Structure 1
Amino acid sequence: MLIPDIDAFEERAAIAEFDGGLSRRAAEDLAAQAQGFANADAYWQWLADYVVTRKIP
């Protein structure tokens, strides 16, 4: 079961963007993939579904 770690996601994305020179989009994709998601869209969709249903998808 995938459960996002928002703090780790934000930190990894920031490091990849600023130190790694990636675009924000690419940095967020990398951070999402590090947590087992296909990309940032899948990561954010998981969070949106959780907010709406209050259940772990």
Structure 2
Amino acid sequence: MSEYILEMKDISKGFAGVKALDHVQLQVKPGEVHASLRKYQMGDDSHLYRW
């Protein structure tokens, strides 16, 4: 059984030929606090996630 409540592996993302993420990993254990933020644009919902 995994000790993580969230685990993401080998994440890659690019925009118009520019690498934004290159094989990134994220592992979150129970009780840890991590935030996911994004640029706010007019009319969008604002999100802050806590795992």
TM category, shorter: under 0.3
Q: Looking at CA atoms only, which structure, 1 or 2, has the larger radius of gyration?
A: 2
> Greater helix percent: which structure?
1
Structure 1-normalised TM-score?
A: 0.20
**Whose strand fraction is larger, Structure 1's or Structure 2's?**
2
**TM-score, scaled relative to structure 2:** 0.21
